[in-house]
Amino acid sequence: MMNQPDYFGALEIPEPVETNAKGPSGKLPLSDEILKNWSSGDLFGLTQSVGMGFDPRRVLGDQYLILSTQGGVRNPDGTPVALGYHTGHWEVGLLVQAAAETICEHDGVPFAAFVSDPCDGRTQGTQGMFDSLPYRNDAAIVMRRLIRSLPRRKGVIGVATCDKGLPAMMMALAGCSDTANVLVPGGVTLPPTVGEDAGKVQTIGARYTHGEISLEEASLEGCRACGTPGGGCQFLGTAATSQVVAEALGMTVPHAALAPSGQPIWTKLAKDSAKASQRLVASGKTMQDLLTEDSLFNAMLIHAAVGGSTNLLLHIPAIAAAAGLPRPDAAAFRAVNQLVPRFVDCLPNGPVGHPTVQFFLAGGVPEVAWHLREAGLLKSDAMTVSGMTWNTLLDQWITSDRRSVCRDRLTQADGIDPDEVIIPPAEASRRGMTSTVCFPHGNLCPEGAVIKATSIDPSVIDADNVYRKRGPARVFTTERDAIAAIKGQTDWPISPGDVIVLIGRGPIGCGMEETYQITSALKHLKFGKEIALITDARFSGVSTGACIGHVGPEALAGGPIAKVRDGDLIEIEIDRVSLSGHVDLVSAVDAPETAAEEVLRVRLSHPKLGVEQAIPDDTRLWAALQNIGGGTWGGCIYDVDEILATLEAGVKARQGR
């Protein structure tokens, strides 16, 4: 006879159960005015607060919400009880605690709420990527609902670190503009003393398959790449770039982006941020006083100067929309990028590629902003949450002890000259460093596309700073098939000179997945620089090389990229100085004498093109709604007025009116 399951003791005799309790001691500090004029919700909120153990004598203090993306459960010594999805949200609870303690020290009442986030690194090449970009809008909605659900809040301290949680937090803080909001970037993890960075380590599978590393090397590098347990990755990908952009917008205290997670300099930022929110309350300032068109310009300018992730072309317009400001378009980004070359040497960009902690120690965002002010480019009258304009802040920064101590530490600890990380712009130009983002057009991307032109391998750039390539198309409709061909695991592997065309991976097809499996392989495989990639998907912030994404219209929206076939001749030209370029079908493999435009007019879409079968319904709904709101070139936002108008028109059409 088989043993009966015990259902984890559910059928055992229970321990004694209490049915009532004495409740908190003391009394609420109520008044006649409070009882007559406060809502029942406000009054019951006080009851809830003391029920959780808060001192009833202090319960009428100003309320502050500390909203974070914390994930996982840690023991007091930092060891894991339950893992988070990534290092970026693993330690932010320490920032929440530091901010809360500071609020209490100044007679405030801190509340904490949590909206955790996924890891784009963890979901690369998996179906989890179908939820990555859509998650941003969902999280921003939930965050805003949580903010509004604390009706007596005076300020919000938002703590976030990584690729989607941080842009969502910025959208939420921008969208709740009537409170004194401050953002706390969650910082960065350190690189290992010996070993690969967290970007390169994501290519161990591709390199092992090609025999470029051994099983032992892959196992070792895969273990040690995250040098410390907390913070975003060590490269200027989407997480780090979002931190930089948050500071550039004026949403953080000075020198906040990219601080090393878990260290005193990092924890103090949370304390300073709590004080900044309280000072804003005292001065009557709110987020709407800080986020302006000048702030957005500074964010785009500093994004260009540091060589930031192309994903911010999706996030900056979304933050602008949340703040009620005009959304910058491709023309606006192009104009800003034409003003300034990249002058920060940070991973994944070269020529050396310093980790983000070295960028922080070299002076971080304030140092970059100072150079831009000296060049007459920064909108230096824009305000920041510190209560200072950029002008006042930078006047103090350039002679500050903090600047000198950090820069000296970089020299002493790592032997790095700070001016080799944040290079004076004139010297950067002399060295041939170019602007960050280019927006090519052409018969395959009539609405445009995006390439991080600054990070194309210099050895494939012509003397006039133009990247030119002609090659046969290799068309794929899934990332899985493309990466198999790159690894040489198919009958027709990718060869040097090929142009990979990956279609059906935009918002409609699969939620606009990142394709870092492909771009990282092309960066770190020996022959990768001889291959180009064109796709309607997007790229990880750590992607480099001749990788052209955001192709519009996407294939499933009728874009001509849907009609490319294996063997078609593709021509790419990217001018890294003028930031112009084109991506064109030159001739068809089956009709070489027919004009390319005629081929694209009469050809049907690729027979394998279709919506990803595993796409979640949540993502399908997101894709439809963001498409109405302007699509990828509009920041993938929900434009409520446009959506309502479209729904109304659709209802009338279906009713035959």
Distances (CA, A) of 93 to 68, 247, 462: 8, 21, 49
Confirm if 524 and 197 have CB atoms less than 8 A apart.
no
In angstroms, the CA 320 to CA 322 distance is 5
CB neighbour burial string for 530-558, b if at least 16 within 10 angstroms, e if fewer: bbbbbbbbbbbbbbbbbbbbbbbbbbbbe
Distances (CA, A) of 216 to 203, 228, 327, 434: 15, 22, 49, 39
In angstroms, the CA 632 to CA 448 distance is 11
In angstroms, the CA 59 to CA 29 distance is 8
Sheet holding 153-160, edge to edge: 109-114, 63-68, 153-160, 180-185
User: Length of the chain, please?
Assistant: 657
From the number of C-beta atoms within 10 Å of its C-beta (0-12, 13-18, 19+), residue 308 rates as buried
Preceding omega of 553 cis (within 30 degrees of 0): yes
Confirm if 161 and 243 have CB atoms less than 8 A apart.
yes
At residue 364's C-alpha, the angle toward residues 358 and 368, to 5°, is 125
In angstroms, the CA 382 to CA 391 distance is 8
At residue 26's C-alpha, the angle toward residues 25 and 28, to 5°, is 125
Closest CA to 86 of 180, 164, 177, 184: 164
In angstroms, the CA 386 to CA 180 distance is 11
The residue type found at 604 is L
DSSP 385: T
In angstroms, the CA 348 to CA 367 distance is 20
In angstroms, the CA 34 to CA 57 distance is 15
Confirm if 201 and 222 have CB atoms less than 8 A apart.
yes
Catalytic residue among 132, 295, 309, 540: 540
Residue found under tokens 């990092």: 266
Judged by DSSP in three states, 271 sits in helix
Long-range contacts made by residues 20-29, C-beta under 8 angstroms, separation at least 24?
23/51, 24/50, 24/51, 24/53, 24/56, 26/50, 26/55, 26/56, 26/57, 27/56, 28/56, 28/59, 29/56, 29/57, 29/59, 29/60
Tokens of 147: 């903010």
What residues contact 256, with CB distance under 8 A and at least 6 apart? Answer: 184, 185, 243, 246, 247, 269, 273, 365
To the query of whether residue 540 is one of the catalytic residues in this protein, the response is yes
Closest CA to 547 of 535, 559, 556, 555: 535
In angstroms, the CA 134 to CA 268 distance is 33
DSSP 232: B
Distances (CA, A) of 315 to 288, 299, 421, 473: 18, 11, 26, 31
| Residues forming the active site | 540
